[in-house]
Amino acid sequence: MAHDWQPDFEQLVDEHQSMVFSLALRMTGDRGLAEEIAQDVFLEFDRWLGKMESADHARFWLRRVAMSRSVDALRRRQTRGTDRWVEMEDHHGIHVEERTSPLGARLEQLLATLPEPQRAALVLRYQEELTPEEIAAALEAPLATVKSYLQRGLKLLRTKAAIHLKEFVREKECVRGV
């Protein structure tokens, strides 16, 4: 069946670059790498442009490939997540950018410590607001597996947040006391 939708590459880049970049950044925790991944994804997208049937199809494709490339990059790099508090203290003394609240910044850091499949599921759930069915399609994983990633990932994140937020609150009190 012929489709009437005529994809415009530049317009699609404008529309989706933030999504692709954010997915790659949250998965890898590395801005330079996220940029490289975003470039690769869009250049690959350009090759498949003629096969895109609709705006939704394009968005689904970009999301799926962005996640896939990010996971590949992570595995190649063999990043080891850690919840060591001393690392999360911005050891080299950098101030976290004030785009989000300090709490939000901590949650971002905690996300980076989760195992990769759980991190992927949570990013798609809370950044992209996808349903478990949509997450399963994006990750090309069974629905039951995705539900398990979400459940375990959320539980782990809550536990870590409870520990580290307590530390965070204590730190703020100390600063105030000085």
Partner 1 sequence: MKNRFITFIFAAVALAMPALAQTAQLPAPSPIEKELAARASEATEITLDKKMLSLASRVMDGKDTYDDATRQLIENLDGIYIRNYEFDKEGLFTAEQVEQLRKNYETGEWSSLVRNRDRKTGESSDIMVKLVNGESHGLFILNVEPKEISMVLVLGPVQMSDLKKVKSIVKGTVKGRGGAEKSIPTKGKSKP
Partner 2 sequence: MEFEPLDDFEEKLKRSFERWPAPPELKRRLMENRHRRKERPRWFALPREVLVAVSLSLGVGVFAALYSGIASYQHEQQREGEAARQQVLTALRITDHALDNINKQLAAHGRASQE
Question: Rule CB under 8 A: which residues touch partner 2?
Answer: 9-10, 13-14, 17-22, 25-26, 30-33, 35-36, 38-39, 42-43, 46, 82, 84, 86-87, 91-92, 99-101, 103-105, 107-108, 111, 122-123, 126-127, 129, 131-132, 147, 150-151, 154, 157-158, 161
Size of the site for partner 1 (CB under 8 A): 29
Token pair belonging to 9:
């590459």
Pairwise CA distance, residues 44 & 62, whole Å: 9
Q: Is 134 in the site for partner 1 (CB under 8 A)?
A: yes
Measured CA distances, 44 to 38, 50, 62, 163 (Å): 10, 12, 9, 42
First to last CA, the chain: 71
**In the 8-state DSSP scheme, what is residue 51?**
G
Chain residues 113-132 in contact with partner 1, contact rule CB under 8 A: 127-131
Contact letters for partner 1, residues 149-178 (x by CB under 8 A): ------------------------------
CA-closest candidate to residue 164, choices 96, 105, 79: 105
* 43: number of Cβ within 10 Å: 9
Binding site for partner 1 (CB under 8 A): 18-19, 22, 25, 29-32, 34, 56, 59-60, 76, 78, 90-97, 99, 127-131, 134
